[in-house]
Amino acid sequence: MPEEIIERIYRIPVPLPGNPLKELNAYLIKGTDRAVLIDTGFRQPACREALFAGLRELGLRRGEVDVLLTHLHSDHSGLAPEAAQDRTIYVSEADRPTLDDLHARQVHWDKLEERFQEEGFPRHLLARMQETNPARSMAPPSGGHYQSLRDGEVLEVGGYRLQCLLMPGHTPGQMCFWMEEQGVMFTGDHVLFDITPNITAWIQMKDALGTYLDSLRKIDAYDVRLALPGHRKTGDFHQRIAQLLEHHHRRLDEALSVVKAHPGRPAYDIAGHMTWKIRANSWQDFPVAQKWFAVGECMSHLDYLTVRGKVQKTVADGKAAYYAV
């Protein structure tokens, strides 16, 4: 059931079955001239049914909305071409290539798999990820009319002005949308309240975690009175930013401690010695998809420590090893 948050802005809850995120918050801004849908859900039946039922309840159908994406991840973008059809899909310039250029998408995944192999992720598990990772299997198909957005651009809809703020880290082109007059910020996955955003390593960013922390400090300067996140509930915006910064500094300390205790190991092994909030008896029992996310997050923390000279990374015979400096 759609929920009106403020006048002409609605939240459409989109379930994410089998995913720890549980639900996506899609937002509809309904103007007299046009309607804009912020994020869509996975390209899967449960998401499709909930999203389009929500639109129908608000008097709209697929093909009658423009789509505004906070970032490229498939739980946000999967249904964008279906929802927009011949209308426009807006996304940041940095995130656009892996959505509307299938060759660029394949190059991205090939390079990422090379990095994971270098970090000790078993090949047979990587092969399973090609089918089970929703980032790949539920991503939008080819097609769609995409338009790039740059930092600072303003979109007008429903009497509101949305300023596009580039906040890289969660993805290279994660964007938040700021309604200054109302004090409302659509945060995507940049700031979440019930859960911590996954910050993984990216081929396009040498230091994704450092970039993310810088983006958190940057967005903290905005006078946000209502944050509308991509998942679950909202909360105290500035308090949450402080919590996220502290969380990652604790995780950095933990990663460095593991490197000191287990020198010469790749990220796959280091991640296995870190703490994770997941129900599993051991690292070996982790679900493959969650193990992939954990290793990616571990890599981003190791990259941060390497860039700052606290850890040294070596690669020999295609295998990475980390040592405390």
Query: Does 202 reside within a domain?
Result: yes
Query: Does 119 reside within a domain?
Result: no
Query: Does 287 reside within a domain?
Result: no
pTM: 0.95
CA distance 244 to 216: 8
| Res. 133 pLDDT band, cuts 50 70 90 | confident
Query: Does 276 reside within a domain?
Result: no
pLDDT digits (tens, 9 = 90+) for 72-100: 999 999 999 999 999 999 999 999 999 99
pLDDT digits (tens, 9 = 90+) for 165-221: 999 999 999 999 999 999 999 999 999 999 999 999 999 999 999 999 999 999 999
| Res. 130 pLDDT band, cuts 50 70 90 | low
Query: Does 248 reside within a domain?
Result: no
CA distance 150 to 181: 21
Query: Does 14 reside within a domain?
Result: yes
Query: Does 320 reside within a domain?
Result: no
For strands 66-68 and 145-149, give the pairing: unpaired
Task: Kindly state the DSSP code that residue 198 receives in the 8-state scheme.
Answer: P
Domain of residue 10, CATH code: 3.60.15.10
Amino acid making up residue 317: D
> Would the pLDDT of 135 be above 80?
no
Query: Does 239 reside within a domain?
Result: yes
> Per DSSP, what are the bridge partners of residue 130?
none
| Res. 290 pLDDT band, cuts 50 70 90 | confident
CA distance 249 to 95: 27
Which string of DSSP letters, residue by residue, matches 31-98?
A: -SS-EEEE----SSHHHHHHHHHHHHHTT--TTSSEEE-S-S-HHHHTTHHHHHTTSEEEEETTTTHH
CA angle, 26 then 63 then 188, to 5°: 20
Provide the domain limits for residue 169: 3-107+135-243
Percent of the chain at pLDDT > 90 equals 84
Domain count, the chain: 1
Per-residue confidence (pLDDT) for residue 19, from 0 to 100: 85
